[in-house]
Amino acid sequence: MGTFNRLHLVRQVDLFTLRLFLTAIEEQQIGRAALRENIAASTATKRIQVLEDIAGIQLLERGPKGVVPSPAGAVLARYLRTIFDSLDDMRAEIASFTEGVRGELTIASARTIFVPFLARELGDFSREYPLVELAVHDVENPEIIRQVAHGEADVGVFAAAYGLDLDGVDVTPYRRDRLVAVVPRGHLLGERASVTFQDLLPENLIAAGSMLGAFRAAARRLEREFEPSFHVRSAGVAISLVQAGLGVTVQPECLLTPDVLSSVTMLELAEPWALRKIHIATAQGRTPSPAARAFLDQLLDRPQEEEPAGRA
């Protein structure tokens, strides 16, 4: 590493990299920060390394459980939060000089997408467009598609699922993440680096929400039948049952926070369907409202040179 140079910092580091650095501190993992910011993990690692090279000092301390800010990194994070707070204030003041986009915007999505991704996006959008009235519908995949197709929701965000009928909607790729196996601490499968669906079938496999259809389809490919002892609506409930030692489950990696990982073991799921593709749905053939168009532009906005998350 070189020495800190203020001009290099101003000229060579963009705001996205600085926000990525803050996100890595919040998530305590660079990989999870990359997922949250919708870029490849390798790209996120490279951006933070370049930032450290420009700063001339290590900003993150890496360990087997993730990352924490170094003393210098904590100082940088403190100033960056002030900078981003000032940017928010500036945006609000400038917005007061113009009427801006107004109206109503209804978003339909599932909890496993709202929690790790859309909640933050909606917060940013609300600050950018304070005259838009937001409504949120927490529903499962088929209902997301139905609401968008019938005009009850302006935008739907859903995970591709086996047998999902997409009639009446236009679909745009949004982001990707991974499905992983989650087993209790000390479980025999926890000693392995990866597992297959066939490995999980003899266990008490807990299905949450739309995962039931995926499990049944995977079981049929093995010429087996799948009827779970526990079929719950919430991923959080499924994970809590695993924490209690009552079974194993498959969940999106983005839901496994450091707190959760302290009491369960996460394993790679070696299945082609373990790559979860998340899409945006809009009504087929219908022009989005100005508010919906602005929200869609925000969801799809990312550095053009980046690969979508999940391709790394």
Q: What pLDDT shows up at residue 21?
A: 95
Return the SS3 of 286.
coil
Q: What is the pLDDT of residues 43-68, one digit of tens each?
A: 899 999 989 988 888 999 998 878 99
Sign of CA dihedral 83, 43, 125, 138: negative
The torsion angle over the Cα atoms of residues 47, 52, 58 and 60, rounded to 10 degrees, is -30
d(CA 87, CA 85): 5
d(CA 286, CA 149): 10
Share of the chain above pLDDT 70, in %: 92
Instruction: Give pTM, 2 decimals.
Output: 0.68
Other Cβ atoms closer than 10 A to 212:
15
Helices 15-27 and 30-37 pack at an angle, to 10 degrees, of 130
| Whether the predicted pLDDT of 2 surpasses 60 | no
Mean pLDDT of 166-193: 93
Residue 298, φ and ψ in degrees, nearest 5:
-65, -45
Q: What is the pLDDT of residues 241-283, one digit of tens each?
A: 999 999 999 999 888 888 888 899 999 999 999 998 999 999 9
Q: What pLDDT shows up at residue 308?
A: 43
Q: What pLDDT shows up at residue 310?
A: 43
Q: What is the pLDDT of residues 123-146, one digit of tens each?
A: 989 988 888 999 999 998 899 999
Mean pLDDT of 113-122: 90
Mean pLDDT of 212-219: 89
What is the number of H-type helices and E-type strands within the chain? 13, 12
Q: What pLDDT shows up at residue 96?
A: 62
